[in-house]
Structure 1
Amino acid sequence: MILGLYEAHLPVSNLQQSIEFYSKLGLELAWRDEDTAFFWIEKEKSWVGLWQGEEHKTAYHPSLRHIAFRVSYEDLRESVKWLQTIEIEPVPFGKRDSIDPFVRPNQGNASVYFNDPDGNSLELMCFVNVPKNLKNISNKLSIEEWEDLVKEKN
Protein backbone atom coordinates (compact mmCIF):
# COMPACT_ATOMS: atom_id res chain seq x y z
CA MET A 1 0.00 0.00 0.00
CA ILE A 2 2.47 2.72 1.14
CA LEU A 3 5.14 3.36 -1.49
CA GLY A 4 7.14 6.13 0.15
CA LEU A 5 6.92 9.65 1.55
CA TYR A 6 5.09 12.11 -0.70
CA GLU A 7 5.59 15.36 1.18
CA ALA A 8 6.91 17.05 4.28
CA HIS A 9 6.53 20.67 5.39
CA LEU A 10 8.70 23.27 7.13
CA PRO A 11 7.90 26.74 8.47
CA VAL A 12 10.00 29.65 7.15
CA SER A 13 10.22 33.36 7.94
CA ASN A 14 11.23 34.62 4.49
CA LEU A 15 10.02 32.61 1.52
CA GLN A 16 12.38 34.18 -1.04
CA GLN A 17 15.43 33.57 1.18
CA SER A 18 14.33 29.95 1.68
CA ILE A 19 13.76 29.45 -2.06
CA GLU A 20 17.32 30.59 -2.69
CA PHE A 21 18.65 28.26 0.04
CA TYR A 22 16.80 25.14 -1.13
CA SER A 23 17.73 25.91 -4.74
CA LYS A 24 21.41 25.86 -3.67
CA LEU A 25 20.84 22.30 -2.49
CA GLY A 26 19.94 21.37 -6.06
CA LEU A 27 16.23 20.93 -5.41
CA GLU A 28 13.88 21.95 -8.22
CA LEU A 29 11.13 24.46 -7.45
CA ALA A 30 7.85 22.73 -8.34
CA TRP A 31 5.56 25.73 -7.70
CA ARG A 32 5.02 28.70 -5.43
CA ASP A 33 2.43 31.22 -4.47
CA GLU A 34 2.54 34.24 -2.19
CA ASP A 35 3.52 32.41 1.01
CA THR A 36 4.20 28.81 -0.01
CA ALA A 37 6.78 27.02 -2.17
CA PHE A 38 7.23 23.35 -2.97
CA PHE A 39 10.51 21.76 -4.05
CA TRP A 40 10.86 18.34 -5.62
CA ILE A 41 13.07 16.01 -3.61
CA GLU A 42 12.51 13.26 -6.18
CA LYS A 43 10.65 14.69 -9.17
CA GLU A 44 7.02 13.58 -9.20
CA LYS A 45 7.67 11.31 -6.19
CA SER A 46 8.27 13.52 -3.15
CA TRP A 47 8.51 17.17 -2.25
CA VAL A 48 9.03 19.54 0.63
CA GLY A 49 6.66 22.44 1.25
CA LEU A 50 7.94 25.70 2.71
CA TRP A 51 5.31 27.80 4.46
CA GLN A 52 6.04 31.43 5.32
CA GLY A 53 4.43 32.51 8.57
CA GLU A 54 4.79 33.01 12.30
CA GLU A 55 5.11 29.22 12.79
CA HIS A 56 8.87 29.56 12.12
CA LYS A 57 9.06 30.81 15.72
CA THR A 58 8.00 27.38 17.02
CA ALA A 59 10.81 25.94 19.11
CA TYR A 60 12.85 23.31 17.30
CA HIS A 61 12.07 19.67 17.96
CA PRO A 62 12.92 16.84 15.54
CA SER A 63 9.26 15.83 15.37
CA LEU A 64 8.31 19.33 14.21
CA ARG A 65 11.14 20.89 12.22
CA HIS A 66 13.39 18.20 10.75
CA ILE A 67 13.82 16.52 7.37
CA ALA A 68 16.39 13.92 6.31
CA PHE A 69 17.29 13.75 2.61
CA ARG A 70 18.41 10.33 1.31
CA VAL A 71 21.85 10.32 -0.34
CA SER A 72 24.34 7.64 -1.37
CA TYR A 73 27.09 6.53 1.03
CA GLU A 74 29.70 7.90 -1.39
CA ASP A 75 27.99 11.30 -1.47
CA LEU A 76 27.65 11.33 2.31
CA ARG A 77 31.41 10.83 2.60
CA GLU A 78 31.86 14.07 0.58
CA SER A 79 28.89 15.93 2.06
CA VAL A 80 30.78 18.34 4.34
CA LYS A 81 32.95 19.55 1.44
CA TRP A 82 29.91 19.81 -0.83
CA LEU A 83 27.89 21.80 1.71
CA GLN A 84 30.81 24.16 2.28
CA THR A 85 31.21 24.74 -1.48
CA ILE A 86 27.62 26.00 -1.59
CA GLU A 87 28.25 28.12 1.53
CA ILE A 88 26.29 26.01 3.97
CA GLU A 89 27.99 25.09 7.21
CA PRO A 90 27.31 21.63 8.66
CA VAL A 91 26.50 21.46 12.38
CA PRO A 92 27.31 18.84 15.03
CA PHE A 93 24.54 16.43 15.95
CA GLY A 94 23.46 16.18 19.59
CA LYS A 95 26.43 16.07 21.93
CA ARG A 96 28.97 15.46 19.18
CA ASP A 97 31.64 18.10 18.57
CA SER A 98 32.39 17.08 15.01
CA ILE A 99 30.49 18.21 11.92
CA ASP A 100 31.76 15.19 9.97
CA PRO A 101 29.44 12.39 8.85
CA PHE A 102 28.91 9.59 11.34
CA VAL A 103 27.51 6.06 11.36
CA ARG A 104 24.91 4.59 13.72
CA PRO A 105 25.66 0.84 13.39
CA ASN A 106 22.66 -0.23 15.49
CA GLN A 107 20.33 1.70 13.17
CA GLY A 108 22.15 0.89 9.93
CA ASN A 109 22.49 4.48 8.77
CA ALA A 110 24.90 7.41 8.50
CA SER A 111 24.28 11.17 8.64
CA VAL A 112 25.52 14.71 8.48
CA TYR A 113 23.45 17.67 9.72
CA PHE A 114 22.95 21.32 8.74
CA ASN A 115 20.30 24.00 9.24
CA ASP A 116 18.26 26.14 6.88
CA PRO A 117 18.06 29.93 7.43
CA ASP A 118 15.24 29.45 9.98
CA GLY A 119 17.00 26.80 12.05
CA ASN A 120 15.03 23.89 10.61
CA SER A 121 17.22 20.83 11.04
CA LEU A 122 18.21 19.18 7.77
CA GLU A 123 20.08 15.93 7.41
CA LEU A 124 21.80 14.07 4.60
CA MET A 125 21.35 10.38 5.37
CA CYS A 126 22.04 6.99 3.84
CA PHE A 127 21.57 3.34 4.66
CA VAL A 128 24.66 1.42 5.74
CA ASN A 129 25.05 -2.33 5.41
CA VAL A 130 26.02 -3.50 8.89
CA PRO A 131 27.42 -6.99 9.45
CA LYS A 132 25.45 -8.94 12.09
CA ASN A 133 28.35 -8.95 14.53
CA LEU A 134 28.41 -5.10 14.55
CA LYS A 135 24.67 -4.38 14.84
CA ASN A 136 24.86 -4.10 18.64
CA ILE A 137 27.14 -1.03 18.51
CA SER A 138 25.14 1.96 19.71
CA ASN A 139 27.99 4.49 19.63
CA LYS A 140 28.05 7.04 16.84
CA LEU A 141 31.21 6.36 14.83
CA SER A 142 32.97 8.65 12.39
CA ILE A 143 33.05 7.36 8.82
CA GLU A 144 36.77 6.65 9.26
CA GLU A 145 36.19 4.72 12.52
CA TRP A 146 33.39 2.77 10.85
CA GLU A 147 35.42 1.87 7.78
CA ASP A 148 38.41 0.84 9.94
CA LEU A 149 36.15 -1.33 12.12
CA VAL A 150 34.57 -3.05 9.12
CA LYS A 151 38.00 -3.75 7.59
CA GLU A 152 39.24 -5.09 10.93
CA LYS A 153 36.26 -7.46 11.29
CA ASN A 154 36.59 -8.83 7.74
Structure 2
Amino acid sequence: MIKGLYEAHLPVRDIETSIAFYRRLGLEIAHQGEAVTFFWIEKGRSWLGLWQTDKVNTPYHPSLRHIAFQVELADLVEAKEFLEKKGIAVREAFDFQPEEQPIVLPNNPQTHAAVYFKDPDGNSLEFITPLQIDQEIDFSMMELQEWKNQNNL
Protein backbone atom coordinates (compact mmCIF):
# COMPACT_ATOMS: atom_id res chain seq x y z
CA MET A 1 0.00 0.00 0.00
CA ILE A 2 2.71 2.55 0.97
CA LYS A 3 4.48 3.96 -2.10
CA GLY A 4 6.79 6.41 -0.35
CA LEU A 5 7.17 9.14 2.23
CA TYR A 6 5.05 12.13 1.24
CA GLU A 7 5.86 14.64 3.95
CA ALA A 8 7.95 15.20 7.04
CA HIS A 9 8.03 18.18 9.39
CA LEU A 10 10.75 19.94 11.38
CA PRO A 11 10.67 22.64 14.06
CA VAL A 12 12.88 25.67 13.33
CA ARG A 13 13.82 28.64 15.53
CA ASP A 14 14.02 31.25 12.75
CA ILE A 15 11.90 30.59 9.65
CA GLU A 16 13.77 33.09 7.44
CA THR A 17 17.18 31.60 8.28
CA SER A 18 15.82 28.12 7.59
CA ILE A 19 14.24 29.19 4.29
CA ALA A 20 17.60 30.56 3.14
CA PHE A 21 19.35 27.34 4.22
CA TYR A 22 16.97 24.99 2.38
CA ARG A 23 17.00 27.21 -0.72
CA ARG A 24 20.80 26.89 -0.73
CA LEU A 25 20.29 23.14 -0.81
CA GLY A 26 18.31 23.65 -4.02
CA LEU A 27 14.79 23.07 -2.68
CA GLU A 28 11.87 24.97 -4.21
CA ILE A 29 9.25 26.62 -2.00
CA ALA A 30 5.81 25.06 -2.40
CA HIS A 31 4.05 27.33 0.12
CA GLN A 32 5.28 30.09 2.40
CA GLY A 33 3.31 31.35 5.38
CA GLU A 34 4.11 33.50 8.39
CA ALA A 35 5.31 30.65 10.62
CA VAL A 36 5.29 27.63 8.28
CA THR A 37 6.94 26.98 4.94
CA PHE A 38 6.77 23.90 2.73
CA PHE A 39 9.56 22.93 0.32
CA TRP A 40 9.18 20.43 -2.47
CA ILE A 41 11.56 17.51 -2.14
CA GLU A 42 10.17 16.02 -5.35
CA LYS A 43 7.52 18.29 -6.88
CA GLY A 44 4.07 16.78 -6.58
CA ARG A 45 5.37 13.75 -4.66
CA SER A 46 7.00 14.82 -1.39
CA TRP A 47 7.68 17.88 0.71
CA LEU A 48 9.28 19.14 3.89
CA GLY A 49 7.35 21.36 6.32
CA LEU A 50 9.28 23.82 8.47
CA TRP A 51 7.43 25.21 11.51
CA GLN A 52 8.83 28.18 13.43
CA THR A 53 8.63 27.52 17.15
CA ASP A 54 10.31 28.48 20.36
CA LYS A 55 10.44 25.13 22.10
CA VAL A 56 11.16 26.80 25.45
CA ASN A 57 7.99 28.89 25.52
CA THR A 58 5.76 27.35 22.86
CA PRO A 59 4.91 23.67 22.39
CA TYR A 60 5.63 22.22 18.98
CA HIS A 61 2.81 22.36 16.49
CA PRO A 62 1.07 18.94 16.31
CA SER A 63 2.35 18.51 12.75
CA LEU A 64 5.86 18.16 14.12
CA ARG A 65 4.98 14.66 15.29
CA HIS A 66 3.54 13.73 11.92
CA ILE A 67 4.53 11.68 8.89
CA ALA A 68 2.45 11.10 5.78
CA PHE A 69 2.84 8.02 3.59
CA GLN A 70 1.94 8.35 -0.07
CA VAL A 71 -0.55 5.77 -1.35
CA GLU A 72 -2.52 5.30 -4.56
CA LEU A 73 -6.09 6.64 -4.63
CA ALA A 74 -7.57 3.13 -4.93
CA ASP A 75 -5.67 2.09 -1.79
CA LEU A 76 -6.73 5.24 0.05
CA VAL A 77 -10.38 4.44 -0.58
CA GLU A 78 -9.78 1.07 1.12
CA ALA A 79 -7.46 2.44 3.84
CA LYS A 80 -9.96 2.46 6.70
CA GLU A 81 -10.82 -1.22 6.16
CA PHE A 82 -7.11 -2.05 5.66
CA LEU A 83 -6.19 -0.41 8.98
CA GLU A 84 -9.11 -1.86 10.93
CA LYS A 85 -8.21 -5.39 9.78
CA LYS A 86 -4.80 -4.81 11.38
CA GLY A 87 -6.33 -3.53 14.62
CA ILE A 88 -5.49 0.12 13.89
CA ALA A 89 -8.22 2.71 14.38
CA VAL A 90 -8.74 5.63 12.02
CA ARG A 91 -8.82 8.81 14.11
CA GLU A 92 -10.79 12.03 13.92
CA ALA A 93 -9.08 14.70 11.82
CA PHE A 94 -10.17 18.30 11.32
CA ASP A 95 -13.58 17.44 12.88
CA PHE A 96 -14.14 14.60 10.39
CA GLN A 97 -14.97 11.33 12.13
CA PRO A 98 -13.42 8.02 10.99
CA GLU A 99 -16.54 6.99 9.08
CA GLU A 100 -16.30 10.23 7.03
CA GLN A 101 -12.76 9.55 5.83
CA PRO A 102 -10.97 9.78 3.41
CA ILE A 103 -11.21 13.56 3.39
CA VAL A 104 -10.03 16.10 0.84
CA LEU A 105 -7.75 18.90 2.03
CA PRO A 106 -7.31 22.10 0.02
CA ASN A 107 -3.59 22.45 0.84
CA ASN A 108 -2.63 24.96 -1.83
CA PRO A 109 -0.78 24.56 -4.12
CA GLN A 110 -1.83 20.91 -3.99
CA THR A 111 -5.14 19.24 -3.16
CA HIS A 112 -4.90 15.95 -1.25
CA ALA A 113 -7.12 13.15 0.00
CA ALA A 114 -6.14 11.58 3.31
CA VAL A 115 -6.90 9.16 6.15
CA TYR A 116 -5.44 9.73 9.63
CA PHE A 117 -4.35 7.33 12.38
CA LYS A 118 -1.77 7.09 15.20
CA ASP A 119 1.17 4.86 16.01
CA PRO A 120 1.55 3.24 19.46
CA ASP A 121 3.32 6.38 20.79
CA GLY A 122 0.56 8.74 19.66
CA ASN A 123 2.45 10.11 16.66
CA SER A 124 0.14 11.29 13.90
CA LEU A 125 0.30 9.17 10.75
CA GLU A 126 -1.48 9.71 7.48
CA PHE A 127 -2.10 7.93 4.23
CA ILE A 128 -2.23 10.64 1.55
CA THR A 129 -2.91 10.85 -2.17
CA PRO A 130 -2.24 13.99 -4.21
CA LEU A 131 -5.27 14.90 -6.33
CA GLN A 132 -4.30 18.19 -8.02
CA ILE A 133 -1.05 20.13 -8.18
CA ASP A 134 -0.27 23.80 -8.88
CA GLN A 135 -3.89 24.92 -8.67
CA GLU A 136 -4.93 27.52 -6.13
CA ILE A 137 -8.35 26.20 -5.15
CA ASP A 138 -10.56 27.74 -2.50
CA PHE A 139 -12.93 25.22 -0.91
CA SER A 140 -13.63 23.73 2.47
CA MET A 141 -12.47 20.29 3.50
CA MET A 142 -14.91 17.60 2.50
CA GLU A 143 -15.31 13.86 2.19
CA LEU A 144 -13.61 12.30 -0.84
CA GLN A 145 -16.90 11.11 -2.30
CA GLU A 146 -18.32 14.66 -2.18
CA TRP A 147 -15.18 15.98 -3.92
CA LYS A 148 -15.51 13.31 -6.63
CA ASN A 149 -19.18 14.24 -7.16
CA GLN A 150 -18.31 17.96 -7.46
CA ASN A 151 -15.57 17.19 -9.98
CA ASN A 152 -17.64 14.68 -11.97
CA LEU A 153 -15.26 11.81 -11.23
Q: 2:115 touches 2:127 (CA, 8 Å); kept in 1?
A: yes
TM-score (norm 2): 0.53
Measured in 2, the distance between the counterparts of 1:60 and 1:119 equals: 14
Measured in 1, the distance between the counterparts of 2:121 and 2:82 equals: 21
Tell me what 1:136 maps to: 138
Measured in 2, the distance between the counterparts of 1:140 and 1:92 equals: 13
Tell me what 2:70 maps to: 70
Aligned-pair identity in percent equals 41
1:84 aligns with 2:87: no
In structure 2, runs of 5+ residues without a counterpart are 10-58
- Structure number having the greater strand percentage: 2
Shift of 1:8: 6.3
Measured in 2, the distance between the counterparts of 1:60 and 1:91 equals: 20
What SS does structure 1 have at the residue aligned with 2:64? coil
Shift of 1:130: 7.0
1:115 aligns with 2:118: yes
Q: Which letter does structure 2 place at the counterpart of 1:127?
A: P
Q: Which letter does structure 1 place at the counterpart of 2:113?
A: A
Tell me what 1:103 maps to: 104
What SS does structure 2 have at the residue aligned with 1:136? coil
Measured in 2, the distance between the counterparts of 1:123 and 1:68 equals: 5
Tell me what 2:93 maps to: 93
Measured in 2, the distance between the counterparts of 1:148 and 1:121 equals: 29
Deviation per CA, 1:8-55: give whole Å up to 9, x if none.
69xxxxxxxxxxxxxxxxxxxxxxxxxxxxxxxxxxxxxxxxxxxxxx
What SS does structure 1 have at the residue aligned with 2:151? helix
Tell me what 2:150 maps to: 149
TM-score (norm 1): 0.53
Tell me what 1:34 maps to: none
Q: Which letter does structure 1 place at the counterpart of 2:128?
A: M
Shift of 1:136: 1.9
Tell me what 2:18 maps to: none
What SS does structure 1 have at the residue aligned with 2:128? strand
Task: Report the RMSD for the aligned CA atoms in angstroms.
Answer: 3.2
Q: 1:60 touches 1:120 (CA, 8 Å); kept in 2?
A: no
Shift of 1:60: 7.3
- Shift >6 Å, 4+ stretches: none
